[in-house]
Amino acid sequence: MTRRALIGVFGGTFDPVHIGHVQSARELKQLLQLDELRLLPCHRPPHRATPGVSSEDRLAMVGLAIADEPGLLVDGRELKRDAISYTVDTLSELRGELGEQPALCLIMGTDAFANLTQWHRWQALLTMAHIIVMARPDSSVPTSGELAKLIAERRVSSPSQLSDQPAGSILLVSLTAYPVSATSIRRSLAKGDSVESLLAPAVLNYIEQHRLYR
């Protein structure tokens, strides 16, 4: 019997994409044994202000950051929908293209997961994908309420269980921590401070050439 394909779906504003994103994506691909991991820049975020840097620039930077990373792909589909970028719509499109068999693994930090019940049609997400929750500093997995109940019902303990079903499970993971955020990088760039160690050289080059985050 052939093993079910596992596709990672890692969305974000990526404003800009930084080493925390890329190293975590690399580690997730290995840990979850993903066949591919797609990074999807969000075009019009539902729960935060639209970034000042265009979606096209953010997409280009993600492409540059992962150009040499086997199995990591950039997926610009959210830019093609001139509407609020709801994850449920993205997953539904991916299902339409990839079919019912592959397991989709929707990746998010504990910060994002804590607000999951505010996401558009959030209950439909687990019908289309597994949810992989990465531990992040300053936030933790809910221990009471609707989401705690959901974890109790859906949690699997090992990445190997993700290929049992195409969707529906929750896996909690702890990765190597890279204490960096796009917010702090934007602030440093605006002040003219060095961010060299936090961005891929090609991304830094792109930012300088296009005079972004001044």
Q: Is 35 in the site for ligand ATP (CB under 6 A)?
A: no
Between 50 and 181, CB nearer to ligand ATP: 181
Pick one of 7, 13, 40, 43: the residue that binds ligand ATP (CB under 6 A): 13
Q: Is 197 in the site for ligand ATP (CB under 6 A)?
A: no
Q: Is 170 in the site for ligand ATP (CB under 6 A)?
A: no
Choices 82-90, 106-114, 157-165, 203-211 (CB under 6 A): range interacting with ligand ATP: 106-114
Pick one of 54, 127, 163, 181: the residue that binds ligand ATP (CB under 6 A): 181
The site for ligand ATP, by CB under 6 A, has a size of 18
- Please name which of 151, 154, 28 lies closest in space to residue 8, comparing C-alpha atoms: 28
Choices 61-69, 116-124, 162-170, 176-184 (CB under 6 A): range interacting with ligand ATP: 176-184
Choices 66-74, 85-93, 116-124, 181-189 (CB under 6 A): range interacting with ligand ATP: 181-189
Choices 11-19, 88-96, 123-131, 205-213 (CB under 6 A): range interacting with ligand ATP: 11-19
SS3 string, the chain, reads CCCCCEEEEEEECCCCCCHHHHHHHHHHHHHCCCCEEEEEECCCCCCCCCCCCCHHHHHHHHHHHCCCCCCEEECCHHHHCCCCCCHHHHHHHHHHHHCCCCEEEEEEEHHHHCCHHHCCCHHHHHHHCEEEEECCCCCCCCCCCHHHHHHHHHECCCHHHHHHCCCCCEEEECCCCCCCCHHHHHHHHHHCCCCHHHCCHHHHHHHHHCCCCC
Q: How far is CA 11 from CA 27, 158, 163, 167, in A?
A: 16, 23, 21, 17
Between 24 and 90, CB nearer to ligand ATP: 24
Q: Is 85 in the site for ligand ATP (CB under 6 A)?
A: no
Q: Is 112 in the site for ligand ATP (CB under 6 A)?
A: yes
Q: Is 109 in the site for ligand ATP (CB under 6 A)?
A: yes
| Contact residues for ligand ATP, defined by CB under 6 A | 12-15, 20-21, 24, 108-109, 111-112, 134, 136, 178, 180-183
